[in-house]
Amino acid sequence: MSELTGRVLDSSSPGWDAARRNFRAAVDYEQLVPKSVVFCQQSRDVQNAVRWAREKGVPLRARSGRHSYEAYSIAEGAVVVDVSEMDEISVDARSGTARIGAGVYCLDLHEQLYDVGLTIPAASGASVGIAGLALGGGFGVVSRKYGLACDNIVGVELVDANGDIVNANATENPDLYWACRGGGGGNFGIVTAFDFRVHPVGLVAVCNITWQWSDFIAVADTFQHWAPNAPDDLSTFLRFAVGSARGAGTITLFGQLTPDSPTQLAGFSALLAPMLNAAPPTGVNVQMMPHSAAAAIFAGADPKNPQWMLHPHNDRQLFKSTSAVAYEPFPLAALNLLKTQLELAPAQQDWETNEPSMVQLLAGGGAPGRVPIDGTAVPHRNAVCVVQYDAYWTDPSDQRVAEDWIEGLRTAMLPYARNAYVNYVDSRIVDYLDAYYVTNLPRLIAVKRAVDPQNFFSFPQSIPTTAPPHA
Ligand SMILES: Cc1cc2nc3c(=O)[nH]c(=O)nc-3n(C[C@H](O)[C@H](O)[C@H](O)COP(=O)(O)OP(=O)(O)OC[C@H]3O[C@@H](n4cnc5c(N)ncnc54)[C@H](O)[C@@H]3O)c2cc1C
């Protein structure tokens, strides 16, 4: 008989409430109570948990950074296999790779790699886990230069449904290796470590440029033609934030220039010229800084309020996020529709203390766009932009209205931006398998059938072992 090993917590343990709580606040944690949470320190703890769960017939969920938008990394009555304490990073300068524990949080990753002058594309969210991020793709502010996080995986070590350790790379288990690069967290096993290709990084330049709402069409249209065709060194996203007052909002361009040499930083303003000329900005802020400082800014880390370092998952903000992909620039009708729908955002209370509701356009092109659609499991390679839709609210009774509004916005835009990014899991997307994986779905199902024929790693929206009727 197997035993649970590692730091094992249940409802009688000190710290239980914090241990079972994920990042997403809009979840009823009184209903969603796991049986136990196992903080694993080594691969052996993960193996024991898988074998124990199988023997006992207890459901199991893998967890790294706790940022699943639908809290799919916890489940009622489940054993939660948490790898966040498996957070070692070791760099092999000779091969240009780093072994990264599956539980490393993204801001720690940015900072520790920067200490040795290196980086990989990783999330801006401070405590997003590298496992959930990279298994589903992974956009970061160096992605247009170096690819998605998953494009930089050279090997994966995981514990399979039998509790055995399996390595997947270009020569060992190549189909599983392919599936682990974009197939989504939780589907094929529990990753304990990744080998990533690492890249040099130093000083970068970041921008924050704002425009008035009335310049929406000019700014959005310029962005969608400029940003995906900008040099690879420049990753940008355009944010339309609403909710403080009906019928208006703010427009902000965020970006990072990551050059090979600091001498190229001087060219940043010239690169931004098309956007600066699209309409008169109301504010222009361009700064040079170390890449790690930029990562902290994008993560929203506030040195005067470092609470998040102590409680990285104790987020109080109520939100619902979803996504789509635009494969062509939006025609004028789509831009007008987007603006009109944004202007219908429910007004928020306590605007000053909360994030605004927003739509963000993440520029496509660059290195991710040069990977073939079937080169990894991520199918959205020809994106002009990935569209991120986020509703925020403060009064719990506003949840339904806010969620319906953002779903209405997503569906209204479907003629122009379709499918969805698997890392922005959304339980309201009915055809989610096709939306997340498009033409890569049949191969993912075949890999699932081969590595987990009994569908042990199963959760809402997981990859099935046989094709669903509509696929
Ligand atoms: C504030 C915030 C900022 C974000 N920023 C970005 C961003 O900049 N770029 C971007 O691309 N995405 C971003 N995301 C989305 C993010 O990529 C996904 O939410 C991702 O799934 C989170 O991974 P996690 O490990 O933190 O979450 P978890 O909830 O721990 O896990 C997510 C999924 O992966 C599975 N999983 C976790 N660990 C393992 C493991 N070791 N082995 C196998 N499966 C595992 C879980 O079971 C679950 O299904 C952001 C999300 C939030 C909430």
pTM above 0.85, yes or no: yes
Q: Which pLDDT band, with edges at 50, 70 and 90, does 57 fall under?
A: very high
The class (CATH top level) of 203-293+315-424 is alpha beta
Per CATH, which fold does 7-82 belong to?
3.30.43
| Ligand 1 atom index nearest CA of 298 | 8
Helices 216-226/268-278 angle, 10° precision: 140
- For ligand 1, say whether the CB of 388 is within 6 Å of any of its atoms: no
CATH number given to 89-200+437-451: 3.30.465.10
With the most atoms of ligand 1 within 8 angstroms of its CB, the residue from 39, 423, 448 to mutate is: 423
Question: Is residue 322 predicted with pLDDT exceeding 90?
Answer: yes
CA-to-CA distance for 175 and 302, rounded, in angstroms? 42
pLDDT at 468: 85
- % of the chain with per-residue pLDDT over 70: 97
The pair of structure tokens assigned to 190 is 């529990």
- For ligand 1, say whether the CB of 125 is within 6 Å of any of its atoms: yes
146 burial type by CB count under 10 A (0-12 exposed, 13-18 middle, 19+ buried): buried
CA atoms within 13 A on the CB side of 16: 12
Question: Is residue 352 predicted with pLDDT exceeding 70?
Answer: no
With the most atoms of ligand 1 within 8 angstroms of its CB, the residue from 39, 73, 355, 387 to mutate is: 73
- % of the chain with per-residue pLDDT over 90: 89
Question: Is residue 314 predicted with pLDDT exceeding 80?
Answer: no
pLDDT at 471: 52
Where in the chain are the domains? 7-82, 89-200+437-451, 203-293+315-424
pLDDT at 353: 66
Please count the other Cβ atoms lying within 10 Å of the Cβ belonging to residue 95: 11
Mean pLDDT to the nearest integer, 73-79: 97
What mean pLDDT is reported for the chain?
A: 95
Name the closest-CA residue to atom 28, ligand 1.
Answer: 66
The string of pLDDT tens digits covering residues 411-445 is 999 999 999 999 999 999 999 999 999 999 999 99
CA-to-CA distance for 103 and 132, rounded, in angstroms? 9
The string of pLDDT tens digits covering residues 21-39 is 999 888 899 999 999 999 9
